[in-house]
Amino acid sequence: MSRHIYSTSSFESPYVSLDLLAYLNSGKKTPFHVFNDVVMPEFQCHLSKLKKQLLPPKDMNGTQDNTSRTERDEEEDDSNCNGSHAIVEEIQKDLDYINKACHKLKDSADRVDEEIQRLILQRLDDAFRERTEEALANSPRINKLRRTKDVVSMLKNQICSSPQLSSDSLSLQHSSPSRRPDKQPEVYIDNQKITKSLTSKRIEEVYNGLDEIQKKCLLCFSVFPENETIKKKVLIHWWVGEEFIDSLNGDGETAEETGNEYFKEFIRKGIIEPVQKKRRQSSENCKMQSSVRDAIIKLAEKDEFVSFDSKGNPNADFSSCPRVCLVKTEEGSSLRDFTYIYHHLKHEKIQTLFNVNEPQPNFRVDRFSKMKNLKVLQLGRWKASARQLVEVEDTEFLKGLKKMKQLRYFSLRGISRITELPNSICELSNLRILNLNGCDNLEKLPDGIGSLKQLTHLDMSECFLISHMPKGLASLLALQILKGFVIGKESPSGLYCKLADLTRLQHLRKLSIHVDRTCLEAEKELNSLPQFRKLRSLSVAWSSIYYATTSTTTNVGLAKIQRIVSRENSLKTLAKIHRIMSREKSMPTTPGSTSQPVDLHKLGLQYFHGAKMPDWLSLLRLKNLKKLYIRGGELSDLRLTEDQEDHSWAVKCLRLKSLCKLEINWPKLRQLFPKLNYVEKVDCPHLSSFPCDDNGEGIWNAADTEQA
């Protein structure tokens, strides 16, 4: 029997094409992407042509031919035409609904297909390991079961979350228009999943455009909890520890400068967003949206950067990655898993151990000492808030540090019950960053700390029980940042580091000092500050934490004598330094000389007990000072010392807090600080006529004023 193909107008339309006929003859099931991308567009085109054919016939001039038609015929045609148009409209509504439903089903099918492929790949990987590994001990069953469990759980979640669409809501009903409901059944679209899918694709494109170092830096964000504010400094120190960036750059760029450039790049690309405080011009914190974090976690898993559980929490499984995260959840602690489940794995492969939220990071000595190739050890708290409590039972496990010759970043920040550090810490020959901030029970530093020749960052701030600095501190010639240096009362032994001893540190650019105001030699030591030629940031805080063992009456009298003696000593020392500087003007520049005075950019003064600015400020070069922060104390005059002709400051950013004796109005402050563009005042009752922001806070921003 011969086959005949009748040529019709419908055959010539795009809807009935040879490709579609061939596809139907193949007997294949129609996948969603074919239906959405081919069938639906063809049918929509066909339907639009049918609508055009339903228009009333017109004559050659474009007018209706009424002469050859009776009035009854016209009424019948109008009725048929209206009914046909109504049917077409109903078909169009059904097609729109089907289109939405199919797109939703396609997305769900794609996700299920992706998890099925993961399951297949997991099985192939297990089979390969069974053939290649000799002994069962080298391939623990628990690891295989955990990996399989994670993959199967993901597949189960995708299948169970597939859209539930009833046959009634998807069927085409060709009943008359009067019997059809006016409202079509709605298709539920999971906007959150769609957003995550789109975000994941966008982040993957951005990620592929980064260089290899930037990629690794970005993946570090994956370990932090959802919606957490992250300090930039924590990440930069981590990057230094893993050698993504270096704190000893030969090109003169600091680790902070390199890290900040990476942060700017991530912000420009929409990966992270800055967290600003009180509309300040710069931000030291950032955060990542949850959908972006989910995308970063997928990339970290794919790259075997960190292991995660099924809920997206980083864990201590280092069977396939070199990083361990300590996380405590309702289900348990990853530290326990690290100790009892993964104890048989080779600890030598671990490069980073990061405490995310474990409140008690206590280790067994034998487990801790096995991590011989560790580069990053973040045991302390990383959050900006002090509410993250961390403590240890004892420091016995820290003796294992002596075997960690590759360690570059070590943080015990905010850990309680550490009274002293073991001498083993002095054997960390590669250590770059040591963070002891907030170790409130720490009483002393090891005497051998001077052996840390590579150390560039040392933070001892808020270690209030430390009364003196070890002599070896002056031997840290690579030191760039030193926070928490203590100027205390003279020790009978005299074997402690003084501020003048640090003038050997030619790379020191940031220094914070804690001064015991009962120390008679404090002012004399501060007069050595002009010799720190590369210093750019200085913070000095005064307090009386270390009380004398005398009566209260004696202390009051002693304090008066100390103020008089201290004033006389500072004046004599000031005159002596001026004479020395005048003699050395014609001498060649040598390291430590004052021919090039320190050029400060940032200055902080806390709880200063004098009414006027300290005398040693006149020895410093303040022409380029951009930021001035003053908090607490008895200051009542912000002018520079009287021996200077110009009392004004070049400061652009000024913060004043808890200055109850300072009296000045806004016009006079502007005269004293003519270059200001940002002012912040808190708890200063005698500062009058100051502008405030819209929230009533004492904040003034020149940029906001210009916009207004």
Q: Which amino acid is at 361?
A: P
624 phi and psi angles, rounded to 5 deg: -105, 15
Gap between the Cα atoms of 319 and 309, Å rounded: 13
User: Tell me, what's the pLDDT at 388?
Assistant: 80
Residue 330, classed as helix, strand or coil, is: coil
In 3D space, the residue among 280, 195, 190, 286 whose CA is nearest the CA of residue 232 turns out to be: 286
From the CB of residue 609, how many other CB atoms can be counted at a distance below 10 Å?
A: 17
pLDDT tens by residue, 465-504: 999 999 999 999 999 999 999 998 887 777 899 999 999 9
State the angle between helix axes of 290-302 and 212-219 in degrees (0 to 180), rounded to the nearest 10. Answer: 120
Both tokens of 352, joined, read: 């980073």
630-662 pLDDT, tens digit per residue, is: 999 999 999 986 555 667 899 999 999 999 999
Given a cut of 50, the residues of the chain with pLDDT beneath it are 1-17, 57-69, 132, 134-139, 162, 164-185, 187-189, 546-595, 708
214 in Cβ contact with 267 (< 8 Å): no
Cβ atoms of residues 343 and 367 within 8 Å? yes
Q: Tokens representing 708?
A: 């207004």
Tokens read off for 258: 């390199």
pTM of the complete model? 0.68
What pLDDT is recorded for position 706?
A: 56
CB contact set of 504 (below 8 Å; sequence gap of 6+):
474, 477, 592
Cα separation of 510 and 535, whole Å?
6
Residue 521 tokens read as 């030699």
- Structural contact between residues 30 and 82, judged by C-beta atoms closer than 8 angstroms: no
Q: Are 447 and 474 in contact (CB under 8 A)?
A: no
Return the ∠ at Cα 351 (arms to 348 and 354), rounded to 5°. 120
As a whole number of angstroms, the distance between CA 58 and CA 65 comes to 6
Ramachandran sector of residue 238 (left: φ over 0; alpha: ψ -120 to 50; beta: rest): alpha
Side-chain half-sphere CA neighbours of 408 within 13 A: 19
Report d(CA 233, CA 624) in Å as an integer.
Answer: 25
- Per-residue HEC secondary structure of 54-89 comes to CCCCCCCCCCCCCCCCCHHHHHHHHHHHHHHHHHHH
Amino acid at 455: L
Q: Which amino acid is at 443?
A: E
Q: Is 602 helix (H, G, I), strand (E, B) or coil?
A: strand
Q: What is the pLDDT of residue 1?
A: 43
Q: What pLDDT is recorded for position 57?
A: 46
